[in-house]
Amino acid sequence: MELVMVQVREVEEGIYWIQECSVKDQITDELSKDPPEWYLPGKKIHIPNNAFLFTGEENLLFDTLSPAASEEILPALESILDGDDLDYVVPSHPEPVHAANTFKILRRYPTASLVAPVGNPDEIVAPTYGKGHDLYYLDDSKTVFTGETIDLGGLTIEFKEATFPDVAFSIWIYEHTFDMLFTVDWLGIPHSEGECTKCVDEITTEVTQDRFHEFHARALYWFEYADTETTSAAIDRLINEIDPSMVVSAHGLVFRENPAKYMRMMKPVINRISVEGRLGLFNAETSIES
């Protein structure tokens, strides 16, 4: 089984970043042979899985880390909550690396509500939030529409449309007090050992288009079919409507300085993927040739 390391950092008052890191040997080997400018020689490459705990009068967990961190997630939560209850568990989408520990956490915190998105009948684009909640054990969840908020007493979580969704039931969140957008699979980047739980402004390496490409050409492979006029317009719309002070992905580091710059940087990244095609998977030995 893959070895993981879980670290916790309070990134803003009451917002705890729980990061699971595992070494990606294959990507490390590939990059070491033709190192990009952001690669630190001799350092292993990580692709993190992030969860976020929002604390206040009530406490909400967004994402639950992967099954590889199933032994680490509860001690991490318990250390932060320090005897307080967990009130909400919100998987961004029911994919194992995001949601695998949901029910383990709910058993530990039995009064917590499981939260899942449901299609908004007013949405012009038909409900993209999935059908079949019971297929994913979400039938007893508290359902939320996009635009709904949960006031935790201090922090306020708003459920947002996933502009770049992964699967059905994908949801993003926005925290009002600190103007922070959580973009799940979008804006993920690999980092080197030593950069774990660092914000982008704290690391010595640059976040470049190439670095974004390394992640998105594998994780959001469908960018190879992208209508780049659409994706660019979607990014502009996101910046115009929210323009957050901070942005963080479930698979990256926190952007807390000029996040719009990095959001715009994704336009040529998507364009490159739409021209060059996808890369291989993060794990194991795979050939891109079909």
Partner 1 sequence: MTKQLTPELYWIENCYKTNDHHVHISSYLIRANSKYILVDTGSHLHREEVELAIEDLTNGSGVDALLLTHSDLPHAANVQEFRSNWDFDLYASFTGSSASPEALDMGDATSASVGNSTKIFGRKFAFLWPALADVTNTMWILDKETNTLFTGDGFGNYHFPNQCNLTSREIQGSIEEELIRQYHRDALPWIKHITGEKLKDRLDQMFADYDINRIAPTHGNLIEKQDINEYRDKLIQSVDEISNHYKRNILEVE
- Binding of partner 1 at residue 29 (CB under 8 A)? no
DSSP strand pairing (15-22 vs 4-12): antiparallel
- Binding of partner 1 at residue 1 (CB under 8 A)? yes
The token pair that represents 43 in the structure block = 């350092």
Q: Indicate which single residue of 168, 199, 203, 239 sits in contact with partner 1 (rule: CB under 8 A).
A: 168
- Binding of partner 1 at residue 147 (CB under 8 A)? no
Between 111 and 290, name the residue whose CB sits nearer to partner 1.
290
- Which phi and psi angles does 20 have, rounded to 5°? -105, 125
> N- to C-terminal Cα distance for the chain?
28
Between 32 and 70, name the residue whose CB sits nearer to partner 1.
70
Buried/exposed code over 165-189 (b: 16+ C-beta within 10 A; e: otherwise):
bbebbbbbbbbebbebbbbbbbbbb
Residue type, 69: A
d(CA 263, CA 257): 12
Find the shortest distance in angstroms from Cβ 190 to partner 1.
14
Report the length, in residues, of the chain: 290
Residue 74 host element (H or E): helix 73-81
- Binding of partner 1 at residue 222 (CB under 8 A)? yes
DSSP 221: G
Find the shortest distance in angstroms from Cβ 252 to partner 1.
15
Between 82 and 125, name the residue whose CB sits nearer to partner 1.
125
Find the shortest distance in angstroms from Cβ 76 to partner 1.
15
Q: Considering only the C-alpha atoms of the chain, give the largest distance between any 2 of them, rounded to a whole number of Å.
A: 53
Q: Indicate which single residue of 156, 196, 224, 267 sits in contact with partner 1 (rule: CB under 8 A).
A: 224
Q: Indicate which single residue of 72, 166, 175, 214 sits in contact with partner 1 (rule: CB under 8 A).
A: 166
- Binding of partner 1 at residue 134 (CB under 8 A)? yes
**Residue 116 bridge partners (DSSP):** 143
HSE-CB at 154 with a 13 A cutoff on CA atoms is 11
Between 2 and 13, name the residue whose CB sits nearer to partner 1.
2
Find the shortest distance in angstroms from Cβ 36 to partner 1.
21
Angle CA 223–227–228, to nearest 5: 85
Residue type, 77: L
> 199: closest CA among 43, 9, 69?
9
Q: Indicate which single residue of 11, 12, 15, 22 sits in contact with partner 1 (rule: CB under 8 A).
A: 22
- Binding of partner 1 at residue 268 (CB under 8 A)? no
Contacts to partner 1 by CB under 8 A? 1-2, 4, 20, 22, 49, 66-70, 94-97, 100, 124-132, 134-137, 162, 164-168, 170, 218-227, 229-231, 233-234, 237, 274, 278, 280-290
